[in-house]
C-alpha cells in the first residue's frame, strides 16, 4: 500500500514554568489531540523552564505554556492551554491519519 505522503514522526515540545493547572491542561489537551490524529507517530517532550531557564531565551519562548512543533518542518508555535482543538489542528497544520 502506498500513500501520497509517507508518515513522518511529529516531534513536539511543550514549554512550561512548573506543572501548573494550565500546564497540566495543555499537556492533557495536546496528548488527546495527538492520540486522535497522529496514530502514535509523535513524541511530546515537556520542558520546564524553571529547571532550564536559559532555554527560554535560546528558543525564543516568551510565554508559557508554549507548544513547539519541531518536526515536520516548518517550526510552529502555539501559546496557551490548547483547549480549542480546531485552532490547534489548524495552527499545527495537523491532518488526521487516513484510514483510521
Query: pLDDT tens across 1-52, in order?
Result: 334 444 589 999 999 999 999 999 999 999 999 999 998 889 999 999 999 9
**Distance between CA atoms of 80 and 100, rounded to whole angstroms?**
28
pLDDT of residue 77: 97
Distance of alpha carbon 28 from the chain centroid: 11
pLDDT of residue 98: 54
DSSP state string for 45-75 = EEEETTT-THHHHHTT--SSSEEEEEESSSP
77 or 97, greater pLDDT = 77
pLDDT of residue 40: 83
pLDDT above 90: residue 71: yes
With CA atoms as reference, report the closest residue to 14 among 91, 85, 96, 81: 81
Give all domains of the chain, ordered by start, each with its CATH number.
10-92 (3.40.30.10)
User: What's the average model confidence in pLDDT over 70-85?
Assistant: 96
pLDDT of residue 95: 74
Amino acid at each position: 500500500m502506498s500513500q501520497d505522503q509517507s508518515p513522518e514522526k511529529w516531534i513536539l515540545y511543550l514549554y512550561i514554568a512548573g506543572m501548573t493547572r494550565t500546564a497540566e491542561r495543555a499537556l492533557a489537551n495536546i496528548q488527546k489531540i495527538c492520540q486522535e490524529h497522529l496514530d502514535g507517530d509523535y513524541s511530546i517532550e515537556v520542558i520546564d523552564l524553571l529547571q532550564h531557564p536559559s532555554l527560554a531565551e535560546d528558543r525564543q519562548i516568551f510565554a508559557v505554556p508554549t507548544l513547539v512543533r519541531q518536526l515536520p518542518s516548518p517550526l510552529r508555535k502555539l501559546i496557551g492551554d490548547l483547549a480549542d482543538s480546531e485552532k490547534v489542528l489548524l495552527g499545527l497544520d495537523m491532518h488526521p491519519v487516513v484510514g483510521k
